[in-house]
Structure 1
Amino acid sequence: MQRIGVIGVGEIGRAIVTGLCEAPGERPEVFLSPRGARAAKELSERYEGVRVCAGNQEVVDRSELVIVAVRPPDRHEALAGLRVDDDRIVVNVMAGVANDDLRGQLATGATLVRAIPMPAVRDRESVTVTCPAHPAVDALFDRLGGVLPVEDEAAFNVFSALSATLTTHLSYLATLTSWAAGHGLPAEVAERYVRGLFQDLGRALGDESRSLRQLAADHETPNGSNERIRTTWFTPATSAALTQALDDLLDRLD
């Protein structure tokens, strides 16, 4: 795919463009909407072949594949009156917006594919879930760290719910840092240590020969400190609360 448009140059749109432009091999032409003007201007100045268009219709007209990455509450305003020819491919990365809803708004027969790219696609280090599978879309995200196509939108929504846990993990780390600062460590020192601690753990996730439960066991000593925190904090009640929160989110996504 040689001509790619991006409508909505926020965190995800910017990450996709950066990943594509810094990937090995031939770069595509990229056409950006004026939404997120500052980020769009920065990307166009940094990378050859990236252009900012006068409006969203120009993005669509110039592109073979269009990525819609606006915030879901903004989609009605951003996409109002947009004409999308049936020969275009539209990639919907808006969380919680089904393809049927987007097709109804655009009133188009174009191919629509949902995707869940994470910010790490900027470094081509994140697997992206797509639905349904499509050769051009899957090839695009394969360049950005890998692709996991699913045919069932119900399964796609489960992946979408899983992706919503990222900031919970970060807040957990922030809570650890605050606890350490409350016990006299300088906040910046505590944060540096926590970051390093979990970056090392993150690297262990690359070992797919061990399950997540096995990795946890391998990091514990029986009756040791890790086991004590896990069993006293991550109780059946907290596990049930997390399961319920995910179930509630999935109900909203269905």
Structure 2
Amino acid sequence: MQRIGIIGVGEIGRAIVEGLLGGDGEAPEVFLSPRGARVAAELSGRFEGVRVCAGNQEVVDRSELVIIAVRRQDRHEALAGLKVGDDKLVVNLMAGVSIDDLRRTLATGAPIVRAIPLPAVRERRSVTVTCPSHPVVDALFDRLGGALPVADEDDFNVFSALTGTLTAHYAYLATLTSWAAGHGIAPDAADRYVRGLFQNVGRSLSDESRPLRRLAADHETPRGSNERIRTTWFDAANATALKEALDGLLTDLR
């Protein structure tokens, strides 16, 4: 795919551009919408072959593959009147917006594929869920760290709900540093230690030969500190509350 357009240049749009143009291999031409003008202008200044278009219709007209990355609540305003020919390929990054919903909005017969890229695509190390599988779209995200195609939108929405847990993880780490600071540890020292602690955990996740529960058990000593926190804080009630929160989010996404 040689000409890629992005409508909605926020954090994910920026990450896709950086991943595509910051690595090895032939770089595509990238056409950006003026929405998110500051980010779009910065990217066009950094990368040869990136152009900011006058409007969303120009993005579509110049592109073979069009990525739509606006917020769900902004889609009708951003996409109103847009003419998308059946010869285009559309990638929908909007959480909670089904293929049929977007097809009605765009009034197009073009193939539409949903995807969930994460910010780590900028380093080309993030697995991106796609639905349905499409060779061009899967190849695009393989280049950015890997594609994980799923067969239907019900499964896709489950993966979409899982992405809603990211900032809770960061908040958990921030709570650990705050607790340490409350016990007299310098905040920068607590922050450095917690980051190092969980960066090591992240590296262990690359060992796909062990299931996640096995990894947890391997890092735990019977009646040790880790077991104590897991069983006294992350108990059955805590796990149930998390699953109920995910169920509520999944209902909204569907």
Q: What TM-score do you get using the length of structure 1 for normalisation?
A: 0.99
Q: Is the 1:5–1:31 contact (alpha carbons within 8 Å) kept by the matching residues of 2? A: yes
Match in the other structure for 1:53 = 53
Distance 2:98 2:175 in 1: 35
Distance 2:190 2:98 in 1: 42
- Give matches, 1:108-187, under 5 Å: 108-187=108-187
Helix, strand or coil at the partner of 1:25 = coil
Match in the other structure for 1:9 = 9
- What displacement does 1:23 show? 2.1
Q: What TM-score do you get using the length of structure 2 for normalisation?
A: 0.99
Q: Is the 1:4–1:67 contact (alpha carbons within 8 Å) kept by the matching residues of 2? A: yes
Match in the other structure for 1:75 = 75
Amino acid at match of 1:180: A
- What displacement does 1:192 show? 1.2
Q: Which runs of 5+ in 2 are unaligned?
A: none
Distance 2:134 2:212 in 1: 30
- What displacement does 1:161 show? 0.7
Distance 2:191 2:46 in 1: 32
CA deviation digits over 1:164-213, x for unaligned, max 9?
11011111001111111111112121111111110011000000011101
Amino acid at match of 2:174: A
- What displacement does 1:14 show? 0.3
Distance 1:185 1:116 in 2: 38
List, as ranges, runs of 4+ consecutive aligned residues in structure 1 with deviation greater than 4 Å: none
Helix, strand or coil at the partner of 1:207 = coil
Q: Mean Cα displacement is larger for which, 69-78 or 119-128? A: 69-78
1:90 matches 2:81:
no
Distance 2:99 2:167 in 1: 26
Amino acid at match of 2:26: E
Distance 2:186 2:76 in 1: 46
Distance 1:93 1:85 in 2: 19
Q: Is the 1:23–1:143 contact (alpha carbons within 8 Å) kept by the matching residues of 2? A: no
Count matched residues.
254
CA deviation digits over 1:77-130, x for unaligned, max 9?
111111100110000001111111111111111110000000000000100000
Distance 2:92 2:197 in 1: 35
- What displacement does 1:48 show? 0.7
Helix, strand or coil at the partner of 1:4 = strand
Distance 1:95 1:190 in 2: 35
Helix, strand or coil at the partner of 2:9 = coil
Distance 1:82 1:187 in 2: 50
RMSD: 0.7
Distance 1:231 1:80 in 2: 52
Match in the other structure for 1:196 = 196
Q: Which runs of 5+ in 1 are unaligned?
A: none
- What displacement does 1:151 show? 1.5
- What displacement does 1:65 show? 0.1
Distance 1:100 1:184 in 2: 55
Helix, strand or coil at the partner of 1:201 = helix
Distance 1:23 1:137 in 2: 18
